[in-house]
């Protein structure tokens, strides 16, 4: 394909994408294909000679779309949202075209420098304390990771390295330290936190959450003190804002105080909920954030930036650079030290020009429209919450804070499992469940940026219809 052909194919693709997204409401949200559906639809081997673009284009509807779960359908209410917007799609095109690998400043100065400034813009939008921002001139700064899971692991490895050097200076042998390290998170923390512990080779403790499913200081302190008595070395704690099962919130101030007292690194995982902090009325949720060492959220979840874009800030970026720095000659350059070499801030070497997505989205929406977007989605969740409250057959698991409604039939787990199954088989909407302390419930997340009030009403009608069917079979 040459330039002229690309121009016309790109126009055609832009039309296809706009039509797909603008008419996504008409597609069945969950596909009906069976495992193995795709292989028979295409040849067994790559073609010998070039095919035409038209043939490729035709196969999108024939081969791909029947097997797509439409995450941007206004009837998609599963998991948490994943973001999608035209400005971010455009930025991804440009990023692909520039196609640089920005591991050091000199490997593409614009890639590093835009990221430094965008992470400051974004941090300011959220109201993060100045210590986390590069513009403050201190040791703080932000970086774009691929996912929240990586951010949790990067912070954990930095904390591990910081603790090991601290204790080595006091004369303790490195191998003794490593086997005694222990990390903490709430029993509501994301599975990626437990996984980070496995990957880092350290013990993890799940701290019991309270009746609002949040982790509090006293429970954390108790777990830490028990471990200290047994000779363990507490070094890392993850506080969660907007935990995945029920969008519950840990008490960051209490956790931060315990972390300070015992010399632990405090990382905050706000993967979903972080986007809401652009609205002043939700900032109370991060009270105590100034005590944390690192903070992370996913603009690719709820801030209109397509996957992948996970924003992470350090209060002292030397911690991660010291932990991750290796310096082969071929990566050295004359300007080292004046700007970040982001390869020291992440696990891979290579990195894409992802800050373009943040730049385009923040400029083309502006703070005002981004806030309107979040507020509208929260109000749609409250609309669904009101339907649940007004119906005596149902109960809420937690009051709604952001865009997730957790609810169940006031009946057995089995009845709720049957309801969930019937809803997903119906194909009108898509939900996933969760379970806390042996209580099975349904999660209704406002996901698509196309979701309107009438979609929420339609979803509730479907829940009621399937409830009638399930209850009539009891
Ligand atoms: C979604 C989510 C994650 C995982 O996010 P990735 O970016 O896919 O790794 C981690 N923590 C919380 C609280 C989440 O909601």
- Cβ-contact 105, 335 below 8 angstroms: yes
Return the ligand 1 atom nearest residue 298 CA. Answer: 7
Torsion of CA 422, 423, 427, 429, to 10 degrees: 180
* E strand or H helix at 214: none
Write out pLDDT tens, residues 83-108: 999 999 999 999 999 999 999 899 99
Q: Which two tokens stand for residue 415?
A: 């009845």
Give the model's pLDDT for residue 322. Answer: 85
Sheet-wide strand order for 432-436: 394-396, 404-409, 439-445, 432-436
Distances from the Cα of 172 to the Cα of 6, 201, 232, 242, angstroms: 62, 19, 13, 38
Phi first, then psi: what are they for 291, rounded to 5°? -85, -10
Mean pLDDT of the chain: 95
- Cβ-contact 281, 255 below 8 angstroms: no
- On the question of pLDDT at 228 being above 80, the answer is yes
Give the model's pLDDT for residue 90. Answer: 98
Give the model's pLDDT for residue 87. Answer: 98
Q: Tell me whether the omega of the peptide bond preceding residue 205 falls within 30 degrees of 0, making it cis.
A: no
Residue 116 CA, ligand 1 centroid: distance in Å:
23
* E strand or H helix at 450: none
- On the question of pLDDT at 332 being above 80, the answer is no
* Cα–Cα dist 296/265, whole Å: 14
Residues marked as catalytic: 190
Residues with CB under 6 A from ligand 1: 80, 147-149, 190, 192, 240, 242-244, 269, 271-272, 298, 310
Which residue of 82, 189, 190, 239 sits with most ligand 1 atoms within 8 Å of its CB, as the best mutation to test the pocket?
190
> What percentage of the chain carries pLDDT values higher than 90?
89
* Cα–Cα dist 438/442, whole Å: 13
Give the model's pLDDT for residue 306. Answer: 97
> What percentage of the chain carries pLDDT values higher than 70?
98
Give the model's pLDDT for residue 201. Answer: 93
Give the model's pLDDT for residue 338. Answer: 77
Give the model's pLDDT for residue 335. Answer: 67
Return the ligand 1 atom nearest residue 146 CA. Answer: 7
| Residue bearing the CA closest to ligand 1, atom 12 | 271
Closest listed residue to residue 54, CA positions, set 43, 44, 46, 62: 62
Residue 393 CA, ligand 1 centroid: distance in Å:
32
Q: In the 3-class helix/strand/coil scheme, how is 352-409 assigned residue by residue?
A: CCCHHHHHHHHHHHHHHHHHHHHHHHHHHHHHHHHHHHCCCCEEECCCCCCCEEEEEE
Distance of CA 402 to the CA centre of its chain: 15
- On the question of pLDDT at 115 being above 90, the answer is yes
Phi first, then psi: what are they for 229, rounded to 5°? -60, -35
Quickly state the pLDDT bin for 411 (edges 50, 70, 90). very high
Residue with tokens 């496995």: 198
Closest listed residue to residue 71, CA positions, set 302, 256, 293, 268: 302
Q: Which two tokens stand for residue 191?
A: 């599975």
Quickly state the pLDDT bin for 326 (edges 50, 70, 90). confident
């Amino acid at each position: 394909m040459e330039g002229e052909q690309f121009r016309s194919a790109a126009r055609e693709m832009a039309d296809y994408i706009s039509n797909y997204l603008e008419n996504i409401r008409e597609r069945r949200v969950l596909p009906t294909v069976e495992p193995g559906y795709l292989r028979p639809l295409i040849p067994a081997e790559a073609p010998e000679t070039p095919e035409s673009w038209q043939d490729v284009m035709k196969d999108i509807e024939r081969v791909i779309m029947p097997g797509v779960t439409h995450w941007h359908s206004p009837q998609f209410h599963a998991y948490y949202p994943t973001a999608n917007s035209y400005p971010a799609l455009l930025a991804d095109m440009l990023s692909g075209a520039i196609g640089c690998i920005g591991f050091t400043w000199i490997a593409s100065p614009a890639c590093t420098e835009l990221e430094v400034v965008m992470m400051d813009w974004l941090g300011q939008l959220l109201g993060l304390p100045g210590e986390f921002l590069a513009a403050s001139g201190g040791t703080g700064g932000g970086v774009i990771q691929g996912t929240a899971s990586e951010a949790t692991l990067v912070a954990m490895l930095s904390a591990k390295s910081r603790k090991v050097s601290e204790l080595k200076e006091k004369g303790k042998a490195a191998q003794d330290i490593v086997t005694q390290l222990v990390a903490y998170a709430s029993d509501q923390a994301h599975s990626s936190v437990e996984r980070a512990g496995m990957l880092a080779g350290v013990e993890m403790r799940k701290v019991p959450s309270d009746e609002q499913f949040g982790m509090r200081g006293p429970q954390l302190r108790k777990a830490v003190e028990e471990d200290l008595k047994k000779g363990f070395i507490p070094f890392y704690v993850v506080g969660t804002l907007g935990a995945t099962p029920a969008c519950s919130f840990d008490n960051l101030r209490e956790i931060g105080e315990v972390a300070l007292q015992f010399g632990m690194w405090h990382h905050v995982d706000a993967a979903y909920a972080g986007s809401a902090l652009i609205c002043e009325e939700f900032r109370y949720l991060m009270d105590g954030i100034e005590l944390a060492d690192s903070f992370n959220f996913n603009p690719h979840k709820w801030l209109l930036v397509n996957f992948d874009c996970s924003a992470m800030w350090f209060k002292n970026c030397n911690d991660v650079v010291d932990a991750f720095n290796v310096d082969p000659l071929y990566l050295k350059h004359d300007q080292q030290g004046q700007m970040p070499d982001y390869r020291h801030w992440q696990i891979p070497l290579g990195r894409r020009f992802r800050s373009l997505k943040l730049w385009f989205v923040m400029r083309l929406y502006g703070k005002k429209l981004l806030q309107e977007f979040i507020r509208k989605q929260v109000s749609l969740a409250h609309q669904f919450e009101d339907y649940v409250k007004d119906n005596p057959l149902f109960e809420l698991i937690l009051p709604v804070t952001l865009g997730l409604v957790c609810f169940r039939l006031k009946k057995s787990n089995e009845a709720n499992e049957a309801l969930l199954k019937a809803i997903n088989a119906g194909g009108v909407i898509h939900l996933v469940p969760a379970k806390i302390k042996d209580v099975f419930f349904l999660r209704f997340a406002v996901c698509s940026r196309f979701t309107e009030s009438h979609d929420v009403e339609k979803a509730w009608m479907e829940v009621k219809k399937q409830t009638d069917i399930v209850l009539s079979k009891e």
